[in-house]
A and B are shown apart, each in its own frame.
Chain A
């Protein structure tokens, strides 16, 4: 049962990451995803400090607020101050992340987080933190959070699929058709934040971006449509979870980092195979 809960939770998280990541790389916003996955930590720490607890609803709303703030603030600084887009993004997310680390150090007694958790997540401890309602054990907390976030992602992406597609490929056409591109942009940022917070317990705050970007980039090499990118990247993400689990077991290394490395290995293999088949 122990391995089962880890694998199923990681797989749910990886699926969410791959779906959101596909849209991110198509919109050339991979680095914004990186930034949000860092700054979400500040949201988590603030929620811990202000409410002294970490219920799923508070965690999600705190993360969404900080994630949207990151996207909005970096855009705002870029427009109002003499700074390039990437510089203002780097400024905002490093500052948020540094502030979160300082707060963790200052209030170490109140925040049940440490550097290790931020870096690696606590995948191996997922099964030890069960959701108990009325004395009944419903399985790990992280599993339900990951499931809920995947459900949110599926519903939003399912309903808005055509709009997301249009605003990603033809932003100018979308605007001329009267579609509010900004609304869809911030909706995607919301999904990124929600996904980052669900992934936090599982892969830590920094490796989230590996699961978002690497499977999607690999799929981008092979696919010919948005649907294909999403489908292939989800498949790659599942393979990365399984191979990474094996790697971690074999080398006695961290689960989260091993899964990210597995995703990278799959990208490498895909590149090699693609080069060979192209030459023949």
Chain B
């Protein structure tokens, strides 16, 4: 196929695959820890940082984008903690307030930039819905570095993270620094989100984080297998959506990726359901497998 000889296509495909895998695994951990929507909030909260950095330095260098997004996402993270701990505002309200307020600040700064005479401002609005097709070798190199960092973090601390996530009291009694791990996990999550901004965009980032693991939940109950499966499903959707967006003009890659993930979810559910019906007489546990999967 001629697409495979296109250098641009290879870069974009590499980028979406890398993002898919790291978002699926890191996001998967977050979902299993009952924090499915924190990624959504952090992704929205990254926007004002990036816009502010652009206003100050007039540049969209990957390093600057990553750093500024990191700062403003962490600010959002602490804002949620402050609102829930220091006022009587409940968690869900605090998340919605931080998400919408940070996003609004980001959009306000974006519209301010667009109406101004600053240069190099063309790529900024792509952060909202992502534009994988515009990626070049330099962007992909950054993606490779961050993805490797995120994945090796996950591999190194996997056992401790698992302990902290599912048995925090026991972890504490072993003398593990739970708070430190919580913060480092949040940092890696934000890093992953920042990579995702260029590909799926701020608004749909949550989907890349939480749908792959949700599909995997139909097929396994063991944590390592779940994470591998999530990575696999993310790669499938990355492959299909990159093909689609390169072959049809003006097709956004990120939204297609999410639509395909949703279809995979529905297919998995239907298949699982059919299997449990068919095997109900021979294998009793197959029917209840889905319900017991609460890790």
Contact = CB atoms under 8 A, between A and B. Distances in A.
A, B in one complex: yes
B259 to A, nearest CB: 5
A209 interface: yes
Interface string B265-288: 100010000000000000000000
A264 interface: yes
Nearest to B257: A98
Contacts of B100: 34, 206-207, 209-210, 213-214, 260
B294 interface: yes
> Dominant SS at the B interface?
helix
B217 A119 contact: no
A82 B294 contact: yes
A157 interface: no
Taking chain A's interface residues, is the majority helix, strand, or loop, or is none over half, making it mixed?
helix
Interface stretch (B11-19, B82-90, B155-163, B177-185): B82-90
B103 A206 contact: yes
Interface string A79-112: 0111110111111001101110110011010000
B89 A257 contact: no
Contacts of A25: 90, 92-93, 96
A253 B101 contact: no
Contact of A97 (B97, B110, B203): B203
B99 A34 contact: yes
Contacts of A80: 290
A46 to B, nearest CB: 14
A220 B255 CA distance: 36
Contacts, number: 184
B252 A31 contact: no
Contacts of B261: 95
Contacts of A251: 108, 112
B105 interface: yes
Interface in B216-260: 217-218, 250-252, 254-259
A91 B97 contact: no
A120 interface: yes
Interface bin, chain A = 35 or more
B290 A213 contact: no
B217 A82 contact: yes
A28 interface: yes
Interface residues of B, number: 59
A84 B36 CA distance: 8
Nearest to B292: A82
B70 interface: no
Given A209-B96, A210-B101, A260-B100, A108 B250 contact: yes
Given A98-B207, A98-B255, A213-B96, A253 B105 contact: no
Most buried by A among B92, B105, B262: B92
Interface in B106-163: 107-112, 115-116, 125, 128-129
Contact of A98 (B37, B99, B110, B204): B204
Contacts of B99: 34, 209
Contacts of A90: 36-37, 40, 206-207, 210
B291 interface: yes
The listed residue with most A CB atoms (<10 A of its CB), out of B104, B211, B257, B262, is B104
Interface in A227-280: 247, 251-254, 256-258, 260-261, 263-264, 267, 271
A82 B290 contact: yes
A233 to B, nearest CB: 12
A221 B101 contact: no
B258 A98 contact: yes
A115 interface: yes
B105 A261 contact: yes
Given A34-B99, A97-B204, A209-B96, A87 B210 contact: yes
A217 B105 contact: no
A30 B92 contact: yes
B207 A91 contact: yes
Contacts of A247: 108
Given A86-B36, A94-B204, A97-B203, 20 more contacts: A29-B92, A31-B95, A34-B100, A81-B218, A86-B37, A94-B207, A95-B207, A95-B262, A97-B204, A98-B256, A115-B128, A206-B100, A206-B103, A207-B100, A213-B97, A214-B97, A217-B94, A217-B97, A221-B87, A264-B105
27 contacts: A25-B92, A31-B37, A34-B100, A81-B217, A82-B218, A82-B291, A83-B214, A86-B36, A87-B37, A90-B207, A94-B204, A98-B257, A98-B258, A98-B259, A99-B262, A115-B125, A209-B100, A210-B100, A210-B103, A217-B89, A217-B97, A220-B88, A221-B87, A221-B89, A247-B108, A253-B108, A264-B104
Closest 10 CB pairs of A and B: A260-B104, A98-B258, A210-B100, A94-B207, A254-B111, A30-B96, A87-B36, A95-B262, A82-B293, A257-B108
